[in-house]
Every structure is written in C-alpha cells, then in structure tokens.
Amino acid sequence: MRAVLVCALLSCLSSLHACPKECSCNSNSKVVDCRGRGLYDIPRRLHPDTQELYLQDNRIRGIGSMAFRETPLVRIIDLANNSITSVSPTALLGLRSLQRLSLAHNSLRELDRRLFGPIRSISHLDLSHNSLWGFSGTSGDSMRNLSHLGLAHNKITRLDRSLLEALTRLDSLTLQGNPWRCDCQLIGLKLWLETYLFKGGVLDEVICSHPEEMRDRDLQKIPYQLFHTCMTTSYHYLFANIHHLESERLLRGHTHGNHGHPSSHTLHIPMAMGEGLSGGGAVGGGGGLPECEPKQRPRPVNLRHAIATVIITGVVCGIVCLMMLAAAVYGCAYAAIMAKYQRELKKNEEMAAVAAQKVDRTTAGEKEPLENAIA
C-alpha cells in the first residue's frame, strides 16, 4: 500500500513539472523550446532546472510579476518577435543566473528602471526594434557585466552619457535607426562614443534626424565646429543657474519674513536665466531658444564637477607659485653666497698685495746698508 502511495506521489510531482504540451523540452540540455506556438502567455509547469527558454514568434502581450518564478536557474530568455507592450518591474525577480535577455521586435514604449535591479549577471540585453523613447538603465551595479546592449530602431532622441559610463564592460552597442536630435545635449554622447571606439568598442552608427541642418549626418563625423553655439552659451547658462540656485536658497531663508513682499531675488531670477540663455534669441521676446541651446537645468553633479575643477585649478596654481617662490629663494641665496665669496676673494687679494708691499720695503731696507758698506 505504501509503495502505491509513493508511486502516486512521484507521478503527481513529475506531472507538476512536466514539459508543457505547447513546447518541446530536452531534459539533457535543459532547453525548453516554445517558438511559434501561438502562445498568449508564459507557459506554466516548467521544470525548475530549465536553463534556456525560447519564446520567440508568439503572441505574448505582457509579462506579469515574477513571470519566471518556476525557472529560477534560467540563463537565457528569448522573447523576440511577440506583441509585448508592458513588462512588470518585478517580472525578473529571482533570476540570479540570467545572462541573456532578448525583447527585440516588440511594442515596448518604456521599461521601469527597477526591472533589472535584482540581476547582477546579465551580459547580453537586446531591446532593438521597439518603440522606446529612452533607456534609463538602473541604479547600482546591476549591469556591471553587460557586454552587449541593443537599442537600435527605437524612438530614442537622446541618451545619457552617465548611464553609458557605468557600463564599464560594454563591448558592443547598437544605436542605429533612432531619430537622434543632434543638439548641444548630444555632445556628451559624442565625446563618450569617441572614447568608446578608441578603446576598441563595436558600434554601428548614430544618424541625426534633427535639427534640419544635421539631418542624415553621422554624429561621429560631425566636426565640433558645428557645435560652436553650444560652446558660447553653455558657460553663461551654467553661471546663470548657479545664481538661480543661490537665489532660491536665499528666498527659502526669508520666506516667513517676506509674505506678500516679493524679494529682489525673485525679480532677478528670470533676468539671470534670460542672461544665461541669451545666445540665440531673447527669452519671452518672441524668439525661441536656438537648436543648440541647453533646455534643461544642469544637474547637481555638473555643479560639483565645476567646483572640483576650480579646487584642482587652485591647488595646481598654488603648487606652481610655491615652486616659483622656492626658485626665487634659491636664486637669492645663491646670489648672496656668490657676493660674499667675491668680497672675501677681493679682501684676500688686497691683503696679499699689502703683504707683498711690506716684503718689498723690508728687502729694500736691507739692501741700502749693504750697499753703503761696500762703498
């Protein structure tokens, strides 16, 4: 009787993790192939030892929370060529071994930055051929091992340089087919791309769509001279925003004492911002901002970089001044020693001359008596 119960229990357990009827499974390679089966959702009753899961060419429209909780050891998930429009921020929760994820050829408009938070091992991420407006990445070091990132053929117009700088192991990057806006805010990306290619990274191309004078031009081949407007206005914009932040701080300090009486700083903020952005047209005067005008307030990190640059410059100048002072002291000391040496030398020569004269007089005095005696 016990043997029958054990067999029944084992059969039930095996049926719970049997291969889904819509898929084909290989127990030796631990691969589950569900490609082109007309699926509308992630199949259930997957074996927990599954390491590769292929779900391409189906009709899946969304990925819910912990959609892969039955396969915690999966290393490869391919969801390319579906109809996915949304992915839950916790869809990949528990997948500590995931290395390759493909969501290419879907209809994604955005991805929550928390999606990749729990993952530390992902090395290949393909998000190409979607409708993404941007890629915010994630915080921390969840993508420190990422070697390939596919963002081609989306709707991305700008890409944050700080995000790319965090991907220290990135070897391959695809960006073509996006409507890039090649204005001042893309200079950071241009600089990063040049460094990335110099280090041996693989990149396709970044073709500009806006503004009109940059259309169909490769960002990598556009000379910096064409961004001259950015160079002349960025400094004014930076200092205007520094003044703006200082004015806001003063206003917050006097809020309780100046209700109903606008502070002079309140009137000066728009003027400062207008002065900082004056480079291609007056603000509020009928002329809009130029194409190469920064349109967002610099983040605090930029201000910190500016302060750090000033401090470093001051330290370098201080070191140079100290070296010049040391050289001057050394020169003065050397001149004083040489002058003293020359004085002593001259004094010795004078003493030698006086001694010689005395000797000559003594000799002359001895010769005169001798000559008188002979005579």
Does residue 223 lie in a domain region? yes
SS (H, E, C) the chain: CHHHHHHHHHHHHHHHCCCCCCCEEECCCCEEECCCCCCCCCCCCCCCCCCEEECCCCCCCEECCCCCCCCCCCCEEECCCCCCCEECCCCCCCCCCCCEEECCCCCCCCCCCCCCCCCCCCCEEECCCCCCCCCCCCCCCCCCCCCEEECCCCCCCCCCHHHHHCCCCCCEEECCCCCEECCHHHHHHHHHHHHHHHCCCEECCCEEEECHHHCCCEHHHCCHHHHHHHHHHHHHHHHHHHHHHHHHHHHHHCCCCCCCCCCHHHHHHHHHHHHHCCCCCCCCCCCCCCCCCCCCCCCHHHHHHHHHHHHHHHHHHHHHHHHHHHHHHHHHHHHHHHHHHHHHHHHHHHHHHHHHHHHHHHHHHHHHHHHHHHC
The model's pLDDT over 154-212, given as tens digits with 9 standing for 90+, comes to 999 999 888 888 889 999 999 999 999 998 888 889 999 999 999 999 999 999 998 89
Chain centroid, CA 205 distance in Å: 20
Residue 37 sits in the same domain as residue 123: yes
- Asked whether residue 169 is assigned to any structural domain, the reply reads yes
What does the pLDDT look like over 313-358, one tens digit per residue? 889 999 999 999 999 998 888 888 988 888 888 888 888 888 887 7
In a domain, 106, yes or no: yes
Q: How far is it, in rounded angstroms, from Cα 164 to Cα 174?
A: 13
Residue 102 has pLDDT above 90, yes or no: yes
Same domain for 292 and 197: no
Top-confidence residue, 127 or 288: 127
Range of the domain at 250: 231-298
pLDDT at 274: 36
* Dist. CA 149–CA 170, nearest whole Å: 8
Distances (CA, A) of 39 to 20, 34, 69, 93: 11, 8, 18, 22
Residues 105 and 251 in one domain: no
**What confidence tier does 215 reach under pLDDT thresholds 50, 70, 90?**
very high
* Dihedral of the alpha carbons of 64, 66, 72, 74, in degrees to the nearest 10: 20
**Residue 246 near residue 293 (C-beta atoms within 8 A):** no
Cα dihedral 347/351/353/355 (nearest 10): 180
Residue 118 lies in a domain: yes
**Residue 289 and residue 353: Cα distance in Å, rounded?**
88
What does the pLDDT read at residue 369?
Answer: 58
Q: Residue 226 — left, alpha, or beta (φ > 0 → left; ψ -120 to 50 → alpha)?
A: alpha
250 shares a domain with 158: no
Average model confidence (pLDDT) across the chain: 78
Of 184, 205, 229, the residue at which a domain comes to its end is 229
- Please check whether residue 204 is in contact with residue 180, taking contact to mean a CB–CB distance below 8 angstroms: no
| 245 domain residue, yes or no | yes
pLDDT band at residue 5 under the 50/70/90 scheme: very low
- Phi and psi torsions of 314, nearest 5°: -60, -40
Do 275 and 178 lie in one domain? The reply is: no
Residue 288 has pLDDT above 50, yes or no: no
Question: 212 and 252 share a domain?
Answer: no
Residue 115, domain CATH: 3.80.10.10
The whole-number pLDDT of residue 70 equals: 93
338 assigned to some structural domain: no
Question: Using CA atoms, how far apart are residues 169 and 373, in angstroms rounded to an integer?
Answer: 113
Residue that has been written with the tokens 């073709």 in this structure: 207
Q: Of 245, 269, 298, which one is at a domain's C-terminal end?
A: 298
Is the domain of 76 the same as that of 119?
yes
Tell me, yes or no, whether 26 and 167 share the same domain: yes
Q: What pLDDT is recorded for position 370? A: 52
Residue 7, domain member (yes or no): no
CB 133 within 8 A of CB 160: no
What whole-number distance in Å separates Cα of residue 331 and Cα of residue 337? 10
Domain boundary (229, 261, 286) is at 229
- In the chain, what percentage of residues exceed pLDDT 90? 41
Are 89 and 118 found together in one domain? Answer: yes
In this structure, the answer to whether residues 214 and 238 fall within a common structural domain is no
On whether both 147 and 43 belong to a single domain, the answer is yes
Shared-domain flag, residues 104 and 146: yes
Examine the pLDDT at 305 and tell me if it is beyond 80.
no
- For 226-267, the pLDDT digits (tens) are 776 675 544 444 444 555 555 555 655 555 444 444 443 333
333 part of a folded domain: no
Q: Does 64 score more than 90 pLDDT?
A: yes
Q: What is the CA radius of gyration of the chain?
A: 40
Q: How many domains does the chain have?
A: 2
